[in-house]
């Protein structure tokens, strides 16, 4: 499944330019946020980042609609983004609420047993809830757009699809992580080549001294080191990485959903003498 989905992902990205809208959006947002942070505009950068996250489901809805229908009309695509905004957002909010309630309920007995203030216990509790939730809610946006189910129906369907091919979902996360790592390394290599002259004084230092020196650097120190031009280059490189990564993640996830949704869930049971079906 993963190989087919990956092959279809690259095919879609090559032959459907509209899918790169999500990348352009993410790249512009990331470039703006990084540039503002380096330009002492932390407050404005935070506002832009927050607004971009709020608008993200709109963009995801449009991309899923394009992948499902192949539609090219801007009006239809924008309309689909608006229609699918809340069907995507509401299941996510519901899931977040359920996770919070579950964490609260589980923290009560831990507090009674004396582990309420233990950071390791709380971290383990959080990981034990968040990781499974992220895995089993993988296809929420795809189901919301393509199958038009209600809130709990969307959550249930995503759970069913992941359960049908659990290792496929894990494979999505693993391949996505490697892809992000690879593109990030490319971005770091590009950044290092462009700003190589800024690091000339550190070339003669050994690796240990370099790591110790840079580990104490603050944002102001980095600003002074690379200068305004370096800040702009940094922002642009982050934007390029985001522009490549975001469309891949969206399209790859849709292709995994498309592959798994074509499989049939086998129900085991039998008919009685009156023709009634009993599910095991």
Please write the tens of the pLDDT for every residue from 224-243.
777 888 888 989 999 999 99
At residue 184, the pLDDT reads: 95
Question: Residue 164 burial by CB count (10 A; 0-12/13-18/19+): exposed, middle or buried?
Answer: middle
Q: Is 142:65 a contact under the CB 8 Å cutoff?
A: no
Return the percentage of the chain with pLDDT > 90, whole number.
49
CA dist., res. 182 & res. 176, Å (int): 10
pLDDT digits (tens, 9 = 90+) for 2-33: 888 889 999 999 998 999 999 999 999 999 99
CA distances to 120, 125, 139 from 102, in Å: 18, 10, 21
Q: Which of 34, 31, 38, 35 is nearest to 219 (CA)?
A: 38
Which long-range contacts (C-beta less than 8 Å, at least 24 apart) are formed by 228-232? 230/195, 230/198, 231/34, 231/35, 231/38, 231/39, 232/35
At residue 275, the pLDDT reads: 56
Q: Is 259:5 a contact under the CB 8 Å cutoff?
A: yes
At residue 269, the pLDDT reads: 56
Strand (E) or helix (H) holding 273: none
Please name every residue paired with 270 in a beta bridge, in sequence order, or none if there are none.
278
pLDDT digits (tens, 9 = 90+) for 34-44: 988 888 777 88
pLDDT digits (tens, 9 = 90+) for 61-93: 999 999 998 888 889 999 999 999 999 999 999
Alpha helices by DSSP H, the chain: 2-15, 21-38, 42-69, 74-83, 85-112, 119-136, 140-146, 151-164, 166-194, 207-215, 219-261
pLDDT digits (tens, 9 = 90+) for 143-198: 999 988 899 999 999 999 999 889 989 999 999 999 999 999 999 999 888 888 87
| pLDDT of residue 204 exceeding 90 | no
Whole-structure pTM value: 0.84
Token reading at 235: 């922002």
10 Å Cβ neighbour count for 41?
15
Token reading at 219: 């944002």
């Amino acid at each position: 499944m993963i190989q087919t989905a990956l092959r279809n992902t690259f095919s879609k990205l090559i032959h459907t330019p509209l899918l790169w809208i999500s990348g352009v959006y993410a790249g512009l947002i990331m470039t703006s946020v990084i540039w503002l942070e380096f330009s002492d505009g932390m407050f404005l950068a935070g506002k832009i980042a927050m607004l971009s996250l709020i608008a993200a489901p709109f963009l995801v809805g449009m991309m899923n609609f394009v992948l499902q229908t192949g539609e090219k009309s801007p009006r239809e695509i924008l309309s689909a983004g608006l229609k699918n905004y809340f069907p995507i957002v509401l299941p996510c909010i519901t899931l977040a609420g359920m996770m919070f309630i579950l964490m609260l309920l589980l923290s009560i007995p831990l507090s009674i047993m004396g582990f309420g203030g233990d950071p390791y216990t709380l971290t383990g509790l959080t990981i034990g809830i968040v990781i499974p939730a992220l895995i089993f809610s993988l296809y929420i946006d795809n189901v919301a757009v393509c199958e038009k189910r209600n809130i709990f129906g969307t959550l249930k369907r995503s759970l069913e699809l992941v359960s049908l091919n659990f290792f496929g979902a894990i494979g999505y996360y693993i391949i996505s992580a490697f892809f992000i790592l690879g593109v990030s390394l490319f971005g770091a290599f590009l950044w290092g080549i462009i700003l190589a002259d800024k690091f000339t004084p550190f070339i003669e230092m050994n690796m240990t001294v370099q790591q110790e020196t840079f580990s104490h650097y603050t944002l102001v120190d980095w600003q002074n080191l690379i200068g305004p031009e370096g800040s702009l280059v940094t922002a642009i490189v982050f934007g390029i990485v985001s522009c490549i990564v975001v469309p891949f993640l969206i399209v790859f996830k849709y292709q995994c959903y498309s592959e798994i949704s074509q499989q049939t869930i086998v129900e085991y049971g039998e008919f009685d003498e009156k023709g009634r079906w009993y599910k095991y």
